[in-house]
A and B are shown apart, each in its own frame.
Chain A
């Protein structure tokens, strides 16, 4: 049983962090563009902003359980199969990208517009304003967003387990629920709580390091 718990924990970690990685890589630029194309911002573009908003809203409005099943053809196309841990990463990333993009957008909105004005008044280019002013100033909130996204992904990954993704969720359902093994149920819960605590503490640590 112990061995199974270790494997399941490993699978959960793999799902969470790999999908989290893709969510950050793809969600970050999406969030930056969501912000920049807004009215009165550096790259204001009404049409593009509408499209990006629509995409993000669609992504965020589909419940994860349904999204998981809806993207099965796409998952098959990417990883060749629709079951297993690797297959679970695809819907997890798809769910987390728009979620994280909104976090990034909000973090950038928190940056005072006076700072953008100051940067422009000093002769900064658009690129310099984004990477030397906006992103560094928004970094504490972006880190916050990463922490929240990863914790959400831990929860989602348990759901992915229910449809053959492996991990702690899968273990809890098969042993804890279907075989009434209360001990396994409790163990998975304890491990999940510890995982969430660790991610949160690491996020807080990064925030502290920033200053």
Chain B
């Protein structure tokens, strides 16, 4: 549906050049919710704007439905943009227009008749839950309602792609959840392909099928969301994943943690239960089989895009060979083991 091929964007001013994007390749499938996450200034916004040619990459091609949009004439490009909706962090609604007139705007500029516009707006208002707000002005709406109007406006032209630019970043958690639910709903009902950028890992965690991590203009990791969560490879990925999982060690333990073994130290392990192992009695089996003392510091179950992941942090009284045997046993049980240090 959307293919970005070796996209680079270089900003040039009088004295220096700045690479905002470097050799980005993405292939986003039809009906998919694809998330791009990265720290601010990583180039997410620029990348998103390349998809509807609001930004033109210095090098590279952007294919939408196999059409290279960068080669289109201005008129054809405008036509193409009508099939690519976009929503923003600050909603960008027209304050001088009512909700109805805002939603109708794309159809109005496309020259559609008033009666056709009305049918479509009412339909879209129902889908987004705005039936009772049509005569309101944006100033009278809450943030969540404004984003709903923006979503209705972005999809009214019957577009098959929705670009989301930090769409939930200025909303409270409750509202964020309802907007994310709406995005999933429009994907399921209308078959819209959604490309979103965010700096919030929980957005990725709750709705994205796949995720790409971007840092300093480069994609450093991408894959199925659950996969990236379970096996983050780069430090940035780990940072993002851990920050959203709330699995930091308690402060006092973190301070005591060291990386050299002493005879009486305990080993701190983080166990990732990635496969469905709920019915196996792994921990108690480990205790009995290796005669080790185990203390559970922390345990949680995370839903990552409809998949369950269990995470447990333990201390274990074992070193050397014994520890290695324990780890080997756990790995055998399809548990990912991370040695965090010693206390």
Assuming A114-B90, A136-B96, is B81 touching A120 (CB within 8 A)? Answer: yes
Q: How far is the CB of A141 from chain B (nearest CB, A)?
A: 12
> B108 — which chain A residues lie within 8 A by C-beta?
132
CA distance A124 to B81 in the complex (A): 9
B86–A136 touching, CB < 8 Å: no
> A120 — which chain B residues lie within 8 A by C-beta?
54, 81
Q: How far is the CB of B80 from chain A (nearest CB, A)?
A: 8
CA distance A197 to B9 in the complex (A): 55
> A117 — which chain B residues lie within 8 A by C-beta?
54, 88, 92
What mask results when residues 258 to 295 of chain B are scored 1 for a CB within 8 Å of chain A, else 0? Answer: 00000000000000000000000000000000000000
> A114 — which chain B residues lie within 8 A by C-beta?
88, 90, 92
Q: DSSP class of A's interface residues: helix, strand, loop or mixed?
A: helix
Q: Which residue from chain A places its CB closest to the CB of B107 in the assembled complex?
A: A122
What mask results when residues 118 to 146 of chain A are scored 1 for a CB within 8 Å of chain B, else 0? Answer: 11111111001000110011010000000
Q: Which residue from chain A places its CB closest to the CB of B97 in the assembled complex?
A: A136
CA distance A127 to B15 in the complex (A): 35
What mask results when residues 193 to 211 of chain A are scored 1 for a CB within 8 Å of chain B, else 0? Answer: 0000000000000000011
B94–A123 touching, CB < 8 Å: no
B109–A122 touching, CB < 8 Å: yes
What mask results when residues 24 to 49 of chain A are scored 1 for a CB within 8 Å of chain B, else 0? Answer: 00000000000000000000000000
Q: DSSP class of B's interface residues: helix, strand, loop or mixed?
A: mixed
A118–B92 touching, CB < 8 Å: yes
A137–B96 touching, CB < 8 Å: yes
Q: Which residue from chain A places its CB closest to the CB of B82 in the assembled complex?
A: A123
Q: How far is the CB of B196 from chain A (nearest CB, A)?
A: 15
Determine whether B84 belongs to the interface, using a CB cutoff of 8 Å to chain A: yes
A118–B88 touching, CB < 8 Å: yes
> A119 — which chain B residues lie within 8 A by C-beta?
109
Q: Which residue from chain A places its CB closest to the CB of B78 in the assembled complex?
A: A123
> B81 — which chain A residues lie within 8 A by C-beta?
120-123
Tell me how many residues of A have a C-beta within 8 Å of chain B. Answer: 20
CA distance A123 to B110 in the complex (A): 8
Determine whether B34 belongs to the interface, using a CB cutoff of 8 Å to chain A: no
CA distance A136 to B88 in the complex (A): 21
Determine whether B227 belongs to the interface, using a CB cutoff of 8 Å to chain A: no
B94–A124 touching, CB < 8 Å: no
A121–B52 touching, CB < 8 Å: yes
Q: How far is the CB of B247 from chain A (nearest CB, A)?
A: 37
Determine whether A183 belongs to the interface, using a CB cutoff of 8 Å to chain B: no
> B52 — which chain A residues lie within 8 A by C-beta?
121
CA distance A115 to B153 in the complex (A): 13
> B153 — which chain A residues lie within 8 A by C-beta?
122
CA distance A79 to B96 in the complex (A): 41
Q: Which residue from chain A places its CB closest to the CB of B150 in the assembled complex?
A: A118
CA distance A122 to B106 in the complex (A): 6
Determine whether B105 belongs to the interface, using a CB cutoff of 8 Å to chain A: yes
Q: Which residue from chain B places its CB closest to the CB of A132 in the assembled complex?
A: B109
CA distance A119 to B157 in the complex (A): 13
* Residues of A near any B CB (own CB < 8 A): 112, 114-115, 117-125, 128, 132-133, 136-137, 139, 210-211
Q: What are 9 residue pairs bridging A and B, where the CB atoms are less than 8 Å apart in the complex?
A: A114-B90, A115-B92, A120-B54, A121-B81, A123-B78, A123-B80, A124-B78, A124-B109, A125-B78
* Residues of B near any A CB (own CB < 8 A): 52, 54, 78-82, 84-86, 88, 90, 92, 94-97, 105-106, 108-110, 137, 153-154, 157, 163
Given A117-B88, A122-B82, 12 extra CB contacts under 8 A:
A112-B90, A112-B92, A114-B92, A115-B94, A117-B92, A122-B86, A122-B153, A122-B157, A123-B79, A123-B82, A123-B110, A124-B78
